[in-house]
Amino acid sequence: MRGFISLTAHPAGCEHNVLKQIEYVKSKGKFKGPERVLVIGASTGFGLASRITSALANDAATIGVFFEKEPQPEKTASPGWYNTAAFTKIALNEGLYVKNINGDAFSDEIKQKTIDLIKTDLGQVDMVIYSLASPVRTNPRTGITYRSVLKPIGQAYSNKTVDFHNGNISEVTIEPALQEEIENTVAVMGGEDWELWIDAMKAAGVLAEGVVTVAYSYIGPAVTEPIYRKGTIGQAKDHLEKTADDLTARLTDISGKAYVSVNKALVTQASSAIPIIPLYITILFKVMKSKGIHEGCIEQIQRLYADKLFNTGEVPVDEKGRIRIDDWEMRDDVQTEVAEVWEKANTESIHHLGDLSGYASEFRKLFGFGFKNIDYNRDVNEMTGIENLV
Ligand code: NAI
């Protein structure tokens, strides 16, 4: 482990992780949803869960776009590579259509490659999931590279944070972002690239009548507000949410609809890198588990599809038009307890007040480690390839 990343990933562990998600969606039964689905950011986190739910709970053909490192003789691949290898193998065995594109989704080249593939193989898609999380984006039109920052706006913010590897709680102060940093973060994580994707696909005629496109957002409680929703990333999420309205307007002629779904805070590679958030998640997990309402990415996305997007009635949205699957996280009883625990949390108490071991274990599992039924002493083929990589 180096900071927020593991330098290695385990192919069999990643496969197990995918299998468990597949078992979960299968246990919940099938539903009727879109049959041809493009997932942008399909290899880890919410995007992977979206692909698994589309394919295994609804028999959809899926095209996955992601940016992962392939294995080298001296170095394992990144976890999303092994996740995709496992997903592809299983989905193909089930007779499903699966194609994969590994490359920079922000580029024109990858957009065109995806459009060409859709034209050749599927004709059109009925759903586009946009689930990218990246610290950097090069705008294909200008060639300018932007880097996002995770900072408060206006004034410095100090609060507690945890090193989830050892439970040490310390005070951090994060200096406010410069105006340019705010703009750069919006350029990376806002809705501009989502818009470029949808515009390019619509112009190419590969969006089906009634297409649905969904991007993921986050809100969170007061304690994370200065660093998240009212910070630089929050500005990007505001932009993403506004983009949904713009896209819906532009899709009217094909009866299409763009949604933002506000998801729950979860352990993913993206969220582990945000200061303060890991302590919040550690406490949140403990509270939600004690109430029997804890969910991971797959439980969240299965619920999004089955209860919100593709139930038979209207899609339920909040006053800003957003789908809320953070509804259980944001429940008053949950947030009141989290706030109480937050006040008491320190290096001594966090081991019993928070779910530190749950956080650390979830984090290791992202890379395929820590599964009891995987024998980590056995040799595995780290050169595992991805089938149907275009
Ligand atoms: P993640 O880090 O697990 O997944 C990111 C995905 O994007 C991966 O498939 C990766 O390969 C792909 N990707 C990154 N850069 C790329 C590029 N240049 N080209 C092609 N693919 C690229 O992230 P996570 O957490 O699943 O986040 C997805 C979305 O969900 C983000 O918008 C995030 O803000 C949002 N979200 C995350 C929450 C969390 O707690 N993790 C909570 C609510 C929303």
Confidence of residue 38 (pLDDT cuts 50, 70, 90): very high
**For the segment 301-310, what is each residue's pLDDT rounded down to a tens digit?**
999 999 999 9
Q: What is the mean pLDDT of residues 309-336?
A: 94
Question: Does residue 2 have a pLDDT over 90?
Answer: no
Confidence of residue 367 (pLDDT cuts 50, 70, 90): very high
Mean confidence (pLDDT) of the chain = 95
Return d(Cα 10, Cα 82) in angstroms, integer. Answer: 8
**For the segment 141-177, what is each residue's pLDDT rounded down to a tens digit?**
999 999 999 999 999 999 999 988 888 999 999 999 9
Tokens 């599927």 label which residue? 122
Return d(Cα 38, Cα 130) in angstroms, integer. Answer: 9
Whether 308 contacts 323, CB under 8 Å: yes
> What is the pLDDT, as a whole number, of residue 273?
80
> What is the pLDDT, as a whole number, of residue 5?
80
> What is the pLDDT, as a whole number, of residue 250?
96
Burial of 212 per CB tally in 10 Å (0-12, 13-18, 19+): buried
Measuring CA to CA, how many Å separate 37 from each of 108, 214, 251, 300?
A: 20, 11, 17, 18
Return d(Cα 143, Cα 101) in angstroms, integer. Answer: 22
Residue 221 CA to ligand 1 centre (angstroms): 21
Return d(Cα 249, Cα 256) in angstroms, integer. Answer: 9
Return d(Cα 26, Cα 58) in angstroms, integer. Answer: 10
Return d(Cα 45, Cα 48) in angstroms, integer. Answer: 6
Residue 45 CA to ligand 1 centre (angstroms): 6
Return d(Cα 100, Cα 110) in angstroms, integer. Answer: 11
> What is the pLDDT, as a whole number, of residue 145?
98
228 is a catalytic site residue: yes
Q: What is the mean pLDDT of residues 279-296?
A: 96
216, 228, 305, 359: which is the annotated catalytic residue?
228
> What is the pLDDT, as a whole number, of residue 311?
80
Q: What is the mean pLDDT of residues 240-262?
A: 98
Question: Does residue 30 have a pLDDT over 80?
Answer: yes
Residue 48 CA to ligand 1 centre (angstroms): 9
Confidence of residue 268 (pLDDT cuts 50, 70, 90): confident
Question: Does residue 269 have a pLDDT over 80?
Answer: no
**For the segment 50-81, what is each residue's pLDDT rounded down to a tens digit?**
999 999 999 999 999 999 999 998 899 999 99
> What is the pLDDT, as a whole number, of residue 19?
97
Residue 42 CA to ligand 1 centre (angstroms): 9
More confident residue, 240 or 5: 240
> What is the pLDDT, as a whole number, of residue 164?
84
> What is the pLDDT, as a whole number, of residue 337?
97
Neighbours of 242 (CB within 10 A): 14
> What is the pLDDT, as a whole number, of residue 82?
98
Residue to probe by mutation, ligand 1, list 39, 51, 268, 279, most atoms within 8 Å of CB: 268
Q: Name the percent of the chain lying above pLDDT 90.
A: 91
Q: Which residue is closest in CA terms to ligand 1's atom 42?
A: 265
Residue to probe by mutation, ligand 1, list 68, 132, 243, 322, most atoms within 8 Å of CB: 132
Q: Which residue is closest in CA terms to ligand 1's atom 28?
A: 131
Return d(Cα 25, Cα 47) in angstroms, integer. Answer: 15
Neighbour order of strands in the sheet with 323-324: 98-102, 61-66, 36-40, 125-130, 207-217, 257-262, 323-324
Residue 205 CA to ligand 1 centre (angstroms): 27
Give Cβ neighbours of residue 24 (< 8 Å, ≥ 6 apart): 298, 299, 302
Return d(Cα 202, Cα 208) in angstroms, integer. Answer: 9
> What is the pLDDT, as a whole number, of residue 229?
96
Return d(Cα 179, Cα 186) in angstroms, integer. Answer: 11
Q: What is the mean pLDDT of residues 31-35?
A: 92
> What would the 3-class secondary structure string for the chain be?
CECCECCCCCHHHHHHHHHHHHHHHHHCCCCCCCCEEEEECCCCHHHHHHHHHHHHCCCCEEEEEECCCCCECCECCCHHHHHHHHHHHHHHHCCCCEEEEECCCCCHHHHHHHHHHHHHHHCCEEEEEECCCCCEEECCCCCCEEECCCCCCCCCEEEEEEECCCCEEEEEEECCCCHHHHHHHHHHHCCHHHHHHHHHHHHCCCEEEEEEEEEEECCCCHHHCCCCCCCHHHHHHHHHHHHHHHHHHHCHHHCCEEEEEECCCCCCHHHHCCCCHHHHHHHHHHHHHHCCCCCCHHHHHHHHHHHHHCCCCCCCCCCCCCEECCCCCCCHHHHHHHHHHHHHCCCCCHHHHCCHHHHHHHHHHHCCCCCCCCCCCCCCCCCCCCCCEC
Tokens 């703009």 label which residue? 183
Q: Which residue is closest in CA terms to ligand 1's atom 8?
A: 41
Tokens 């609809």 label which residue? 257
> What is the pLDDT, as a whole number, of residue 386?
95
Confidence of residue 376 (pLDDT cuts 50, 70, 90): very high
Residue 117 token pair: 């593939």
Please name each of the domains of the chain with its CATH number.
11-141+180-268+296-327 (3.40.50.720)
| Binding pocket residue ranges, ligand 1, CB within 6 Å | 41-47, 65-68, 80, 104-106, 131-134, 216-218, 263, 265-266, 268-271
Confidence of residue 270 (pLDDT cuts 50, 70, 90): confident
